[in-house]
């Protein structure tokens, strides 16, 4: 039996491979099953649609629901492979931030910068970094 210890980088690489494997081929029935009880985000309280009544995916007409779950599977299939980045973030204790900086038009970006911060980063620190990065991106 080999008693050599894998390195931390080995563990990170394998974790990324496993995570990638979990998202490579989303099974249709599982996607639909997981969607069914969830509230549709645009109908959730506090959404950008004031007065919207919370509705669950499973309350949609079956044809609409099937098309929606197919759309979700397509988006999962087209998603960029960021598994190595995601594993590294978690290992480093960083948390993805919802803020992003887009270079180019919103619907056809040339590049996009996603950010992650330490759990103890203050709102002011986050805002300052985002502001500075945005200023650099907007340089002529």
* pLDDT in the model for residue 62: 93
Q: Can you say whether the dihedral through the CA atoms of 119, 84, 79, 137 is positive or negative?
A: positive
Backbone angles phi, psi at 101, to 5 degrees: -120, 120
- Alpha carbons 139 and 34: distance in angstroms, whole number: 44
Closest CA relative to residue 13, chosen from 91, 125, 118, 69: 91
Residues 6+ apart with CB under 8 A from 16: 83, 84, 86, 87
Bridge partners for 100 per DSSP: 114
What are the sequence ranges of the domains in the chain?
7-80, 93-140
* pLDDT in the model for residue 3: 66
- Alpha carbons 50 and 35: distance in angstroms, whole number: 23
Residues 6+ apart with CB under 8 A from 87: 12, 15, 16, 19
140 residues of the chain, pLDDT tens digit each: 666 777 788 788 788 877 777 776 666 678 888 899 998 888 888 777 666 688 899 999 999 999 999 898 888 888 888 889 999 999 999 999 989 998 888 788 899 999 999 999 999 999 999 999 999 988 65
């Amino acid at each position: 039996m080999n008693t050599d210890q894998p390195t931390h980088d080995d563990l990170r690489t394998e974790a990324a491979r496993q995570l990638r494997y979990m998202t490579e081929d989303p099974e249709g029935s599982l996607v639909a099953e997981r969607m069914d009880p969830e509230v549709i985000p645009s109908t959730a309280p506090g959404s950008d649609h004031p007065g919207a009544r919370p509705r669950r995916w499973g309350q949609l007409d079956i044809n609409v629901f099937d098309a929606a779950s197919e759309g979700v599977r397509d988006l999962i299939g087209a998603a960029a492979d960021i598994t190595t980045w995601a594993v590294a973030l978690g290992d480093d204790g960083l948390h993805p931030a919802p803020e992003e900086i887009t270079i180019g038009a919103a619907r056809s970006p040339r590049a996009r910068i996603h950010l992650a911060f330490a759990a103890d980063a203050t709102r002011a620190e986050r805002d300052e970094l985002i502001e500075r990065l945005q200023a650099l991106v907007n340089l002529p």
